[in-house]
Amino acid sequence: MQITDSHNHIHFTEFAPDREAVLARAASAGVTSMLAVGIDPEDCLNALAVAHAHRGILVSLGIHPQNAGTFFPKDVHALARLRDKGPVAAVGETGFDLYRTPGSIDGQKDLFIAHVELARELGLPLVIHDRMGHEQTLGVLDDMNAWSLGGVFHCFSGDTALARRVTGRGFFISIPGVVTFRNAGELRDVVRETPTEFLLAETDAPYLSPAPYRGRRNEPAYVLKAIEEMANIKGMQREDMARITTENFARLFGRSGADCPTGDQIS
Ligand SMILES: [Zn+2]
Ligand SMILES: [Zn+2]
């Protein structure tokens, strides 16, 4: 079984003490590809360093919306110089977080617009972070004519109507381990109604552990919990859901992590 974790932060310091063991557990679980997502300029360098040292890790370059006020559009544009420093496959995460940092909405929008410009410059898809900012997020993507870049709404938190709007424009929806929670009925409805060709699975590790690990540090191996739940909802074998979400990941990002034995060979 080939499994893909479409969004994590394996390069974060939370994994510094035992990253080798965490990645070994992921490999034993069948995880062959993952996307390590940067949240500020230095963090992007850390993601590239981890991708260089390990198999199967692609990198997304971005500045998280909650870092608006600390970083500015010029910092987003400066990420372009990292394009050739490793297996860079996406731009983000970017968008709106109106739950944690509602006060910086204007700065978040400026950062988001800069990410769309960067994605266009580099010819890469977008990794969208949308927390309580659905209409604002869709508004920027519409105004910037950004849907043709392709992308994914990571850790999808909308309803089936939003899912239809997003997939109708060709973007993917990434399902986190939250789908295993008892109260995740709306997210299960999204999985049920979304065609499998638009679905990805993610951990967002070290955050958002699935049941039964809730409250502990999340890790890439646990993406299997989301995939099993998604397979149950769809009435499919988990092997098929793993294969389809892995194929979708390769389609979106142009390659799978498995094509990158180590980042060193990417140049
Ligand atoms: Zn996020
Ligand atoms: Zn994230």
155 CA → ligand 2 middle, Å: 8
Report which of 140, 141, 144, 186 is spatially closest to residue 163, judged by C-alpha positions: 186
Q: What is the pLDDT of residue 87?
A: 96
Helix (H) or strand (E) holding 122: helix 105-122
Q: Of the bound ligands, which one is closest to the alpha carbon of residue 60?
A: 2
Residue 256's pLDDT is what? 63
Q: How far is the CA of 12 from the centre of ligand 2 (A)?
A: 11
Ligand nearest to the Cα of 131, by number: 1
Between the alpha carbon of residue 168 and those of residues 17, 30, 122, 234, the distances in Å are 42, 31, 24, 20
C-alpha of residue 126 to centroid of ligand 1, in Å: 12
CA 256–ligand 2 middle distance (angstroms):
19
pTM value is 0.95
Phi-psi label, residue 30: left if phi above 0, alpha if psi -120 to 50, beta otherwise: left
CA of 93 to the centre of ligand 1 (A): 6
In tens, the pLDDT along 206-227 reads 998 988 988 899 999 999 999 9
Residue % of the chain over a pLDDT of 90: 91
Residue 263's pLDDT band (cuts 50, 70, 90): very low
258 pLDDT band (50/70/90 cuts)?
low
Pair 86, 52: CB distance under 8 Å: yes
* pLDDT tens-digit readout, 133-142: 999 999 999 9
Domain map (residue ranges) of the chain = 3-265
Q: What is the distance in A from the centroid of ligand 2 to the CA of 37?
A: 6
Given the candidates 3.40.50.2000, 3.40.50.720, 3.20.20.140, 3.50.50.60, the CATH classification of the domain at 3-265 is 3.20.20.140
CA of residue 264 to ligand 1 center, whole Å: 27
- The letter for the amino acid at 267 is S
